[in-house]
Amino acid sequence: MDIINFFSKKQTGSTFKKELTNILGFKPGNISLYKTALTHRSVRENIDENNERLEYLGDAVLSALVADYLYKRYPYKEEGYLTEMRSKMVNRQQLNDIAVRMGLKKVTLFNKLDGSLRVSQIFGNTLESLVGAIYLDKGYKKTNQWVLQYIILPHMFMDDLENLEINHKNKLYGWVNKNGRSLEFETVNERLENGRRLFTVAAVIDGQNIAEGRAFNKKDASQIAAQVAVERLGIVNSDSNGDLPPELL
């Protein structure tokens, strides 16, 4: 039995519908729409059979709903603050963690034998696809209620997010500027993994490779590299000591 047929059989019947209903909190209307939302490209390459288009739609819908939530929650905050908070709420790692806690990993159709998927946030992407499916199936109002009830309120703690630093690149740039050093992000490797490009990006300080990150786009890879660099350098803020640790000299 090939892997596509194996996963297809696993995700048919009343068991799938029951698990999906438990996650959604309501009975889905167009069940095929949700199956597409929960199908990763690693097992279905045809554009009408995997969730990439729904991910695109769900990303836009979720971003709009979060923006609306923040606009009403913080009536006196400026645009920059609201934009930063939205980034914290819908960043890939955050959504991936939420998706796993919600149980999407159990119902998502993906190639479990593909080791490269371990470095990506496919379940966060699947959550966005699910939002897109709910939007098409139930409309804007129902989607807004669902996002608030099942994503924002139980998983996004605003007081914690206000103090969360997620843009590690900005933090690293602040540190190097404060201490008179140079920083570049260089793509050190690029290869195909099951039809997708996997990038390895290095954070290079004063010509020295400090840390590397891997992801399926350069932006995410550079953020991961910056996060690893920040941790290795022990950077709390831009005023931290500008010396490199002995092991990196």
Q: pLDDT tens digits for 79-89?
A: 878 887 888 89
Q: In what order do the strands lie in the sheet with 208-215?
A: 183-193, 196-205, 208-215
Instruction: Exactly one of 45, 48, 55, 128 is catalytic; name it.
Output: 128
Output the average pLDDT for the chain. Answer: 84
In this structure, are residues 242 and 179 in contact, taking their beta carbons and an 8 Å threshold?
Answer: yes
In this structure, are residues 123 and 105 in contact, taking their beta carbons and an 8 Å threshold?
Answer: yes
Instruction: Exactly one of 55, 59, 212, 220 is catalytic; name it.
Output: 59
What whole-number distance in Å separates Cα of residue 42 and Cα of residue 109?
9
Q: List strand residue ranges (DSSP E) for the chain, in order.
A: 183-193, 196-205, 208-215
In this structure, are residues 29 and 138 in contact, taking their beta carbons and an 8 Å threshold?
Answer: yes
Q: pLDDT tens digits for 170-220?
A: 888 888 898 889 999 999 999 887 677 888 999 999 999 999 988 878 887
- Check if 59 is active-site: yes
Average pLDDT of the residues in 229-247? 64
